[in-house]
Structure formats: structure tokens, C-alpha cells
């Protein structure tokens, strides 16, 4: 890395076509602000109070069966409904626009064992989660009014997860949300201009440079991207051009399960804690078009910065101006890459 990149500079994110301000030495500043509670690991395999444990009654009054691998249900507090009416706003002012947004929200329990996380799950069990994600993406996307399926996981109380039980969410919407829409426009424009795929090209570049690589396997490459905003943000890219989970061969599904375990294990090992994050997949919309431009990838967006208890805040300049980060992506990648591949609780 050139010396000049140790000074404040900005980097371009070609996926969102935005800039991020990088201020490498800013973590040296004194911290007298909030220190969060570190999230440890539970050794409770079944919690009678947990809404998501097998055999319990959920908050909405529905019973959860005694499931043995994954379990999927309609969110009892869904943010979207399949039958929302068209807002009737005759002669509404142009500046007060509204649109119908129909959709569905699902919850996916990854495993019956309350104490597990992706990092500590068996790869064969994560593979079952990958299969479930694929069938949800296929099934929800098949509804004619659903144009986008967002699969994600909020991990840890710091990220707003409501429950430590291993689970994720799926929101299927009538419109493509703003982030994937912005990525899609960038991917389309790149493909038009260069005749190749932005993320195929980027994955090749990162594999060659290796400075931002965290880990990889035959199917996937995980990097702290050049333009990362969150301190230990990672981007997990399919090495081959895959538009969505539906393009995955059997080996790709196993490789995705493996890379998710690798990345989350390194995260937990970084501060020897259950590392909080929001993780989600970006893939082709389900609007019936071919979407050759799409390249399947996962974003991990973790809040922690300097320890298990001190997080980065997106406030002030970040909210009003542009995103900013304190350590370079290369430093973050090096730290994650040099960690053991085995989970600290299993060593």
C-alpha cells in the first residue's frame, strides 16, 4: 500500500457509485463514550422462554413445532402484507407521493439449538439453511407481484436482533429496494461500458492483490472491500458468475455454507465474543427478467471497531455528509486474515 494512503483520502465504491472518507489514524483518539455490554455465548440449548425454540408458543400465539433442522414461518409482526391496497390519493400534491408496497416477511430458524450461531454450526447444517434460503427465494419470487427477495440476518442485540436464537429474516417486496436498485444500475452500466461483469472483474483483481482478502474457498472470495464503510465490513463474492441462488450447483451451495462459517468464525475470534453484524445477500430481482448483470454476493456489516464493547457510530459527518472509516480496509483485512480458522470456544 502506498504511504499516501496512510493520510486521509476518499475511496470510490463502484457498486453504489458513492465515496467513502478514509481517516487511517483516527482510532488513536481518546474514547470516553459508550461502552456496550459484550455478547458472550449462551450454553442454554433449549430456553422455555424463547419464541423460536422448538415446541414453544410464539409471541403471536402460534405454536412452533418440535422442528429438527430449519423452521420457516410467516413473521407474526410482518412489515409487509400481501394485500395492502393501492393508496387512493386523487389530486394529491406531486411532492406528497405514495405507492402501494405489497410483500411478505418470513422468519427462518437456522437450527433448533438455542445456543448456536452460524459460526458454531456444523457446515452440513448451514448447508440446510442455504437450501432453505434457495427455496424461499424461488417460492417467494415466483409470486407475480414480488420483484425482490431480501434475505438477511441481524446478529446480536447491538444490531437490533430481538432474540439470540439462530435465525434470519426474509422480506419479499413489490419493488426493488434502493440499495440493490443502486447496485443493479451500476452493474448494468459497467456491463454496457466494458462488456464484462463488475464483480467478476473485482473478484479477480482482489484475488490477485490479496491485500484485502480475508478468506476463500473454491466457490467464494471474502474481502474487506476497497470501499468498506464499517470497520470490519466484508464482501463475499461468488468466484464464478452466478446471478442468484438459483444458478448455484450443489458444490456452490456447500461452498457458500463453508464461507459463511469461515467469515463468522473469524469475526468471533477477533474480539473473542459473539460478533454482532447485519448480513444479507444481494442477487437478481425476481421480476421475470434475465438479469445477466447480477452477480451474487453477501455483505457483512458489523458495527464493532476497537473491542467487543466499543462500536462505530454512523453519526455527524457520516449522516449529514458521507460515510467515513477510521482504519484502512487493508489493516482490517490483515487482522481478520491472520486469525485462527477455528472458533475460539472450540479450541
Chain residues in the site for ligand H2U (CB under 6 A): 51, 58-60, 75-77, 107, 154, 161-163, 169
Q: How many degrees, rounded to 5, is the angle at CA 327 between CA 321 and CA 333?
A: 125
| Listed residue (160, 70, 72, 75) closest to 116, CA to CA | 70
* Residue 50 interacting with Zn ion (CB under 5 A): yes
Dig out the grid coordinates for 136 from the structure. Answer: 424461499
Shortest distance in whole angstroms from residue 105 CB to ligand H2U: 7
Residue 53's binding partner out of Zn ion, ligand H2U, none, with CB under 5 to 8 Å set by partner kind: Zn ion
* Residue 44 interacting with Zn ion (CB under 5 A): no
Which distant-in-sequence residues (6+ apart) come within 8 Å of 213 by Cβ? Answer: 206, 207, 221, 222, 223, 333, 337
* Residue 116 interacting with Zn ion (CB under 5 A): no
Q: Give the burial class of 10: count Cβ atoms within 10 A of its Cβ; 0-12 exposed, 13-18 middle, 19 or more buried.
A: middle
* Residue 236 interacting with Zn ion (CB under 5 A): no
Q: In what order do the strands lie in the sheet with 9-13?
A: 9-13, 18-22, 324-325
Distance CA 113, CA 247 (A): 30
Between strands 324-325 and 18-22, the pairing is parallel
| CB of 51 or CB of 190, closer to ligand H2U | 51
Shortest distance in whole angstroms from residue 154 CB to ligand H2U: 4
Q: Which stretch binds Zn ion (CB under 5 A): 37-45, 48-56, 227-235, 308-316?
A: 48-56
In 124-230, which ranges are E strands? 148-155, 167-173, 213-216, 220-223
Shortest distance in whole angstroms from residue 169 CB to ligand H2U: 5
Q: Measured at CB, which residue is nearest to ligand H2U?
A: 58
Is 297 an active-site residue? no
* Residue 53 interacting with Zn ion (CB under 5 A): yes
| CB of 52 or CB of 260, closer to Zn ion | 52
| CB of 82 or CB of 207, closer to ligand H2U | 82
Residue 102's binding partner out of ligand H2U, Zn ion, none, with CB under 5 to 8 Å set by partner kind: none
- Indicate which residue of 114, 148, 167, 295 is catalytic: 167
CB 229 within 8 A of CB 20: yes
| CB of 222 or CB of 279, closer to ligand H2U | 279
CB 159 within 8 A of CB 293: no
* Residue 114 interacting with Zn ion (CB under 5 A): yes
Distance CA 202, CA 273 (A): 31
Residue 58's binding partner out of Zn ion, ligand H2U, none, with CB under 5 to 8 Å set by partner kind: ligand H2U
Distance CA 331, CA 265 (A): 18
User: 104, 111, 120, 165: which one contacts Zn ion (CB under 5 A)?
Assistant: 165
- Which residues participate in catalysis according to the annotation? 167
Enumerate binding residues for Zn ion (CB under 5 A).
47, 50, 52-53, 114, 165
Amino acid at each position: 500500500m502506498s504511504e499516501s494512503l496512510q493520510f486521509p483520502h476518499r475511496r470510490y465504491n463502484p457498486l453504489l457509485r458513492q465515496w467513502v472518507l478514509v481517516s487511517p489514524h483516527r482510532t488513536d483518539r481518546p474514547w470516553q463514550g459508550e461502552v456496550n455490554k459484550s455478547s458472550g455465548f449462551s450454553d442454554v440449548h433449549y430456553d422455555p422462554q424463547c419464541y423460536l425454540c422448538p415446541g414453544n408458543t410464539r409471541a403471536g400465539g402460534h405454536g412452533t413445532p418440535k422442528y429438527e433442522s430449519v423452521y420457516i414461518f410467516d413473521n407474526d409482526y410482518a412489515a409487509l402484507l400481501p394485500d395492502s391496497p393501492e393508496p387512493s390519493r386523487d389530486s394529491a400534491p406531486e411532492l406528497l407521493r405514495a405507492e402501494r408496497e405489497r410483500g411478505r416477511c418470513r422468519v427462518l430458524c437456522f437450527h433448533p439449538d438455542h445456543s448456536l450461531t452460524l459460526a458454531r454450526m456444523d457446515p452440513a447444517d448451514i448447508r440446510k439453511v442455504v437450501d432453505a434460503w434457495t427455496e424461499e427465494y424461488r417460492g417467494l419470487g415466483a409470486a407475480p407481484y414480488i420483484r425482490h427477495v431480501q434475505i438477511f440476518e441481524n446478529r446480536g442485540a447491538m444490531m437490533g436482533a430481538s432474540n439470540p436464537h439462530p435465525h434470519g429474516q426474509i422480506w419479499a417486496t413489490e419493488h426493488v429496494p434502493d440499495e440493490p436498485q443502486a447496485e443493479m444500475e451500476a452493474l448494468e452500466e459497467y456491463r454496457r461500458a466494458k462488456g464484462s461483469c463488475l464483480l467478476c472483474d473485482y473478484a479477480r483483481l482482489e484475488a490477485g492483490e490479496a491485500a484485502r482478502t480475508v478468506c476463500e474457498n473454491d466457490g467464494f472470495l471474502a474481502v474487506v472491500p476497497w470501499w468498506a464503510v464499517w470497520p470490519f465490513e466484508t464482501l463475499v463474492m461468488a468466484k464464478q458468475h452466478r446471478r442468484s441462488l438459483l444458478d448455484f450447483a450443489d458444490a456452490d451451495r456447500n461452498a457458500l455454507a463453508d464461507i459463511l462459517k469461515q467469515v463468522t468464525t473469524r469475526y468471533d475470534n477477533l474480539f473473542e465474543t459473539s460478533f454482532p453484524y447485519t448480513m444479507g445477500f444481494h442477487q437478481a430481482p425476481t421480476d421475470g427478467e434475465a438479469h445477466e448483470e447480477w452477480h451474487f454476493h453477501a455483505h457483512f456489516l458489523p458495527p464493532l471497531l476497537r473491542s467487543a464493547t466499543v462500536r462505530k457510530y454512523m453519526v455527524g459527518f457520516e449522516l449529514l455528509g458521507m460515510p467515513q472509516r477510521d482504519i484502512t480496509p487493508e489493516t482490517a483485512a490483515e487482522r481478520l486474515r491472520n486469525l485462527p480458522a477455528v472458533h475460539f470456544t472450540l479450541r
